[in-house]
Amino acid sequence: MSLLHLQLPDQLRLLLVDDHRLFLEGLALVLQPLSRAVHIDLADSAAAADQLRRQHDYDLILLDLRLPDRSGLQLLRDWQQAGNPTPAAVLSASESPADMQAALQAGALGFIAKSSDAQSLRSAISRLLLGECLPLPLPLAGNPPAGSLTPRQQEILLLLAEGLPNKSISRQLQLSEDTVKTHLKALFQHLGVHTRTACVSVARQRGLLG
């Protein structure tokens, strides 16, 4: 299910990371129509991306796998280890299933082909910005069948739909907050999302909330 019927925020800030400047500038033009006010920063190396990431909060980072000073995969892993919460996706010319799987394992929310046309690219990025994870043509990225939640996951999903924070959910179900977070992570993976709002929205679309 798609969340594209939802509205993107009026203001967005994106970071595009690629060592081909002409490609970066063209991509920035393609993404300008995403929202009324889109601020796009460009970085042509991992070091430049790191510096910009420390200076700004981004709604989404798009990066190539092959950068001159550090691979995109290593950059993703470094950000994950640093506890960086910024959503990031890979935009690459590679069509290798191994690269796609490695990107997902490194923390990417999706893998977008550089061969995508402008409309497909904006659609994929809109889905990411709305909280979805892009499906990959790999078993690792497949979603379990709808309705296969555990009873505990179903309980947490219902409380999440009521807008309760983790602390309240843990108190109501007599669980630790870490346990709640673990169940939430499993829910997000099951539904192919990476935000609480998207989790509830997709669960409603799939009939998991009645």
In the chain, the domains with their CATH numbers are 11-141 (3.40.50.2300), 151-205 (1.10.10.10)
User: What is residue 183's predicted lDDT score, i.e. its pLDDT?
Assistant: 87
Least confident of 49-63, 71-85, 139-153: 139-153
Instruction: Give the end-to-end CA distance of the chain in Å, rounded to a whole number.
Output: 16
Three-class secondary structure of residue 17 per DSSP: strand
d(CA 72, CA 86): 15
* 9-18, 34-43, 184-193: the lowest-pLDDT one: 184-193
- Name the nearest CA neighbour of 19 among 38, 44, 1, 37: 44
Q: Do 39 and 12 form a contact (C-beta atoms < 8 A)?
A: yes
Instruction: Tell me what the mean pLDDT of segment 111-127 comes to.
Output: 90
Q: How much is the pTM?
A: 0.68
Is 39 within 8 Å of 50 (Cβ atoms)? no
Residue with the bigger pLDDT between 110 and 49: it is: 49
Q: What would the two tokens of residue 125 be?
A: 């990025």
- CA–CA dist 42, 52 (Å, integer): 9
Contacts of residue 62, Cβ cutoff 8 Å, sequence gap at least 6: 14, 15, 16, 17, 27, 88, 89, 90, 91, 112, 125
Alpha helices in the chain (DSSP H): 21-31, 46-55, 72-81, 97-105, 118-129, 151-161, 166-173, 177-191, 196-205
Percent of the chain surpassing pLDDT 90: 40
Q: Which of 102, 110, 199 is nearest to 160 (CA)?
A: 199
Return phi, psi of residue 200, to 5°: -65, -40
Concatenate the DSSP letters of all residues of 105-123 into one string.
HTT-S-EEETT--HHHHHH
Q: What is the signed CA dihedral for 27, 32, 35, 40, rounded to 10 degrees?
A: 70
